[in-house]
Structure 1
Amino acid sequence: MHDLPLVIFTILSQLILGGFVTLWWIDRKKAGISRKTGLLISNSFLILGGVSLLVSMLHLGQPFFAYRAILNFGVSWLSREVTFYGAFVGLILFYTWFWYKEDRAKRSTIGWITSIIGVIAIFSSAKIYMIPAIPAWDGVSTLFAFFLTSVLLGPLFVAAILAIRGEVNVNISGLSVLTLAVTAVVMAGYFSSLLAGLPEAVETARLTFNHIFFWIRLVTFAAAFTLLFLSYKNSKWQNVKIYSVAFAVLLVSEFLGRLLFYETAIHL
């Protein structure tokens, strides 16, 4: 469990990206989100961003020297991750300020820039792990997994809050069902490649299949898919309870999946 800070950081950072892009996109396309609700959601991203940054430093041997991580920007994906993610959270602060000022035009502009920086930050985060020394990580599946987590958790987080506030009825089920289906395909391809790969990759697959967290992840994944598919098919299921439960179940599923990502990695 020594990688727990990284698990929390990566999950939260990806959730924030997906949620921020969702809020920005809905705000651009639909009127009706009140200043109070916009501030609530945007401030929640700031709080989660702050928590994620603090937690990430717990993984460092000398947390107070974390600022040095940006010094190798030209050659290190870790430095790029720190730089771009810090900028992402900082830009969310400006975006939140424009919610406070009720300036929708400036929110739209700053939201576009913030979204691009956030995507680069998550891309940089994924590239840190795509290294030949760990066959299970060195592939496009890692990149897919990080961005799919964003699309799974972020929109549901925003939709649940909007439903609780009763302001904008956003049917996020179709996107969630499609993303879950893509995730299932990526997972199948990932494990197939592990089983056909180097001995270290095969060992990672064996460790994963023998871990109770893997089977809990499958059950929670299937449960979330069922709930969201029913919501997609029947508008009566598009409500606070469904979105909230689906989000909570998927959060558990993604958390366990990311924990296995770290715990079952085998070096060459």
Structure 2
Amino acid sequence: MHDLPLVIFTILSQLILGGFVTLWWLDRKYGGISQKTGLLISISFLILGGISLLVSMLHLGQPFHAYRAILNFGVSWLSREVTFYGAFIGLILFYTWFWYKDDGSKRGLIGWITAIIGVIAIFSSAKIYMIPSIPAWNGVNTLFAFFLTSLLLGPLYVAAILAIRNELGVNISGISISALIVTAVVMVVYFSSLFAGLPEAVETAKLTFKHILFWIRIVTFVTAFLLLGLSYRTSKWRSVKIYSAAFSVLLVSEFLGRFLFYETAIHL
């Protein structure tokens, strides 16, 4: 359980990125989101961001020295992650301010910058793990996995809140179903590459398949796909209960997947 803070941090940070981009995109393209709801969602990103930062420091031997992580920006992906993620959360604060001021034009501009910085932050986070000493991590799958978590959780998080506020005017299910399909393809390619790789990679694949949490993840994954399939085809299924249920089971699925990511890693 030593890696639990990292599991929570990576899941939350990726959820925030996907949620932020969804809110910003819906606001710019479709409008119709009330000031109160937009402000509420944006504030929730700040709260989740604060939690993620606090949790991430629990993984450090000396949490109060966390600020030193930015000192090696030129050579360390960890330093870049800390810098860009901190900037990402800081920019969300400005974005939230423009929701409070109800300034759509400035909100749109700061949203562009915030989204770009957020993408760089998650890219930096993925690069930390793409190291030759752990074959199962050292590939583009890690990059895909981190960004797909953003696509799976972020839009559904925003959709659930908009449904609660009765302001959901766009069918979010299509985005989520596409992300689920891509995730399934990536998983197949990933495990195929593990079985064709180094002995340590093969061992990671075997450990994963033997773990009960992997099969629980598959069940939750399929459940979310069925729920979203129903909501995509029929408007009456685009409700608070469906979006909340789909988000909840996918959150469990991604949490279990990230836990196994750390748990089954085999070093050379």
TM-score (norm 1): 0.99
- The equivalent of 2:147 in structure 1 is 147
Unmatched runs of 5 consecutive residues or more in structure 1: none
- The equivalent of 1:156 in structure 2 is 156
Instruction: Give deviations 1:174-214, integer Å, cap 9, x for gaps.
Output: 11111100000000000011111111001101110111100
CA distance in 2, matches of 1:109, 1:215: 43
Instruction: Give deviations 1:41-64, integer Å, cap 9, x for gaps.
Output: 000000000000000000000000
CA distance in 2, matches of 1:242, 1:227: 7
- The equivalent of 1:72 in structure 2 is 72
**Per-residue deviation at 1:231?**
1.1
Matched, 1:43 2:40: no
CA distance in 1, matches of 2:195, 2:214: 16
**Per-residue deviation at 1:168?**
3.2
CA distance in 2, matches of 1:107, 1:70: 28
CA distance in 1, matches of 2:173, 2:32: 20
**Per-residue deviation at 1:88?**
0.1
- The equivalent of 2:170 in structure 1 is 170
Identity %: 83
Matched, 1:103 2:103: yes
Unmatched runs of 5 consecutive residues or more in structure 2: none
- Pairing 1:6-25 to 2, within 5 Å after superposition: 6-25=6-25
Counterpart of 1:103, as a letter, is D
CA distance in 2, matches of 1:69, 1:52: 16
**Per-residue deviation at 1:170?**
2.2
Matched, 1:210 2:210: yes
CA distance in 2, matches of 1:102, 1:39: 9
Instruction: Give deviations 1:47-94, integer Å, cap 9, x for gaps.
Output: 000000000000000000000000000000000000000000000000
- The equivalent of 2:189 in structure 1 is 189
Counterpart of 1:8, as a letter, is I
Instruction: Give deviations 1:142-185, integer Å, cap 9, x for gaps.
Output: 00000000000000000110010012322111111111000000
Matched, 1:225 2:225: yes
CA distance in 2, matches of 1:21, 1:226: 25
CA distance in 2, matches of 1:236, 1:26: 21
Q: After the TM superposition, which parts of structure 1 deviate over 2 Å for at least 4 consecutive aligned residues?
A: none
**Per-residue deviation at 1:236?**
1.5
- The equivalent of 1:253 in structure 2 is 253
CA distance in 2, matches of 1:252, 1:71: 35
Give the stretch that moved more between structures: 165-174 or 178-187. 165-174
- The equivalent of 1:81 in structure 2 is 81
Give the stretch that moved more between structures: 68-77 or 225-234. 225-234
Give the stretch that moved more between structures: 22-31 or 133-142. 22-31
Q: Give the count of matched residue pairs.
A: 268
Counterpart of 1:52, as a letter, is S
TM-score (norm 2): 0.99
Counterpart of 1:34, as a letter, is S
CA distance in 2, matches of 1:31, 1:125: 32
**Per-residue deviation at 1:265?**
0.2
Give the stretch that moved more between structures: 53-62 or 165-174. 165-174
CA distance in 1, matches of 2:186, 2:30: 32
Instruction: Give deviations 1:227-265, integer Å, cap 9, x for gaps.
Output: 101111111211111100000000000000000000000
Counterpart of 1:13, as a letter, is S
- The equivalent of 2:237 in structure 1 is 237
Cα root mean square deviation, aligned = 0.6
